Structure 1
Amino acid sequence: MNGNILPPELIQVFQAVINAVERDSTSFEDLLTKLKFFFPDNLILSALDLVDRDNVIKYTTPWGATRFQVLGSTSGSSYCVFPTLPSNTTTVSTYCSCPAFAYSVLKSDSQLMCKHVLAAHLAPCLGKCIERSLTLDDLASLITSQYS
């Protein structure tokens, strides 16, 4: 990696893999093979475990913005996940509030994303995403609870 910025070409290839799952009903084995190109086995298995446990919640605001909350592996932990950020406003293309993202992605540049971001990408494609609409009050409460 170069300074915590994912090369645009790599982002495009990863997104094409994710889109293929949605569009072509790619087999699960084929998906795993493709994901192994980008991620270590333990990260893939951890993300799929979060998806299998229905720990990925997609929130949609009244104005159509989306964000994800991924419940962590340990009880009571949850993380705010933005699987795609506008590339012209930030130096990273994804974001998660977990410590692993801060260290492995932002600081050491050793991974493309954490298990929570990968789970947020995979859950909708695999039909395992809980979807909820948010009012403005719900959004304020959610953000307050996330960062207090």
Structure 2
Amino acid sequence: MAVTLPEVVEELLSEMAAAVRDGARIPDEHLSSLKFVFGSSAIQALDLVDRESVTLISSPSGRRVYQVLGSSGKTYTCMTSCHYCSCPAFAFSVLRKSDSLLCKHLLAIYLSQVMRNCQQLSVSDKQLTDLLLMEKTQEA
């Protein structure tokens, strides 16, 4: 079962997606709400989306992970099914201090989905497994 975001965030993202589907730009009040909820992370996440830094990696078995090229040049692996990111800010601000709902990388993923600006990459199951194992090895 997928973990869900707080209802207010789900509603905001849904309204933003509806605006994009209708061919309109995202209303300023939605962007203001995004900044109110996420602070400076919202602007940083939008910048990542503008730079097309989000890639969805999928395999034939249906497994999906995202990689986000951060502003520092480091690539972070993220999973939206459990709201996880490999970045230090996620470990500190989201998990340890509970200061934030999401890091900028996870927020960028949700925004890239809304704005239909997500790169796509299909790999074999073995390649995806190797990618995840390599990530785990680098963290250790």
Tell me the TM-score range normalised by the shorter chain: 0.7 to 0.9
Rounded to whole Å, the distance in 1 between the matches of 2:30 and 2:104 is 16
Shift, 1:79, TM fit = 0.9
Specify every segment of 5 or more residues in structure 1 that has no aligned partner in the other structure, as ranges. 1-5, 86-93
Rounded to whole Å, the distance in 2 between the matches of 1:28 and 1:138 is 40
Q: Hey, what does 2:18 align to over in structure 1?
A: 23
Q: Hey, what does 2:80 align to over in structure 1?
A: 83
Q: 2:7 aligns with which of 7, 12, 16?
A: 12
Q: Report matched runs for 1:122-133 at 5 Å.
A: 122-133=111-122
Q: Hey, what does 2:91 align to over in structure 1?
A: 102
Shift, 1:107, TM fit = 0.5
> How far does the alpha carbon of each residue in 1:113-143 deviate from its partner, in whole angstroms, 9 at most, with x for none?
1000100110121121001112112202311
**Number of residue pairs the alignment of both structures matches:** 131
- 3-state SS of the aligned residue for 1:74? coil
Rounded to whole Å, the distance in 2 between the matches of 1:96 and 1:21 is 23
Q: 2:65 aligns with which of 60, 64, 67?
A: 67
Matched AA of 1:17:
L
TM-score scaled by length of structure 1:
0.79
Provide the aligned C-alpha RMSD in A.
2.0
Q: Hey, what does 1:37 align to over in structure 2?
A: 36
Question: Is 2:114 the partner of 1:136?
Answer: no
Rounded to whole Å, the distance in 2 between the matches of 1:66 and 1:120 is 12
Identity across matched positions, percent = 34
Matched AA of 2:63:
A
Specify every segment of 5 or more residues in structure 2 that has no aligned partner in the other structure, as ranges. none
Rounded to whole Å, the distance in 2 between the matches of 1:143 and 1:84 is 15
- Give the ranges of 4+ consecutive aligned residues of structure 1 lying more than 4 Å apart after TM superposition: none
Contact 2:61 2:125 in 1 (8 A): no
Q: Hey, what does 2:136 align to over in structure 1?
A: 147
TM-score scaled by length of structure 2:
0.83
Q: 1:56 aligns with which of 54, 57, 65?
A: 54
